[in-house]
Chains A and B, each alone.
Chain A
Amino acid sequence: INLEYYFSRVDNYKFGAGTKLPHNVVGLFAVANSSDGDLRPGLPLQMIEVHDPVRLLLVVEQRPDIVLRTVQSEPSMYEWFINEWVHLIAVDPDSREIYRFRYGAFERYQPVSAVQQTENLAAVIENAREMETSHITDATRENLPVYTLNQ
C-alpha cells in the first residue's frame, strides 16, 4: 500500500490513476479514463494529495554499536536500512547524542538549526509558520524543529 501510494504520488499521470473525474468503471474490475484508453493502475489524484509520502524514520534509544549489530543480524531486514528505504537513528541513552545510520555505519548527527530553549512549548507550536498548501514543497517549510527534552 505504501509503495502504491508512493508511486501514485511521484507521477500520478503515468503510475497513478490521474484525476478521478473522468473515470469510467470497466466491467466491475477496473477503471479507464473513458471509452477508449488504457486501464488505469494506481491510486487517483484525489486519494494521494491528502498526505505526503515520507520515508519511515526509526528512532532507537540504544548504543549505536548494539543497534548496528542488531540490524545486520538478518540480511533481509538489513536490506531496508542499507538501501535507504527506511531511516534509522540511534540515540545514546547516556550521552543523549544522536547517531544517524548512513552508508553502512553510524555517524554523529549535527543539528542544522541551533537548538533553542523554551519554557512554553505550546506557544512555540502555535506560533510556528503554517504551510500555505499541503504540497510537499510548502509542507517542508513548516518550521517545527525537533527538540530533545532534557528533564
Chain B
Amino acid sequence: MISGVQILGILFGFGLVYLAFLSFKRHEFTPTEWGFWTLLAAAVVLMSLFPQVLDPVVARLKFARALDLYVILGFMFLISALFYTYTISRRTQVRVEELVRKMAINEAMHKRRK
C-alpha cells in the first residue's frame, strides 16, 4: 500500500522532470544540465516508489528509517546550493561594482580631456 509521503515524492519528482524539460526547451539549460536534473528527479521518483532500495545504506549509516536519510541529504543539498548561489552572487556583485566604477571614471576622464 503506497503511502502519502511516497505519492508526494513521486509528484515532486515528475514536477522536477517537467520544469527541467521546460528550461531545456527555452534554451535556459544546456543538455548536460537538463540531463543532471532529470536524473536527479528520476532518482527521487524511484526512491519514492521503491524505498526499500536504500535499506542497506540506511542500516549501514544507522538511521532509524529511510525518510531520515532523505531529510539529511535534502538539507545537505540545500546548504550546498545556498553556498554556491552566495558565492556566485558575491562574485557578480564585486564585478558589477568594479565595472560601473571603471566606466564612471573613464567617462569623467574622457569628458575632462574634451
Asked whether A and B interact, the reply is no
Task: Enumerate chain B interface residues (CB-CB to A < 8 A).
Answer: none
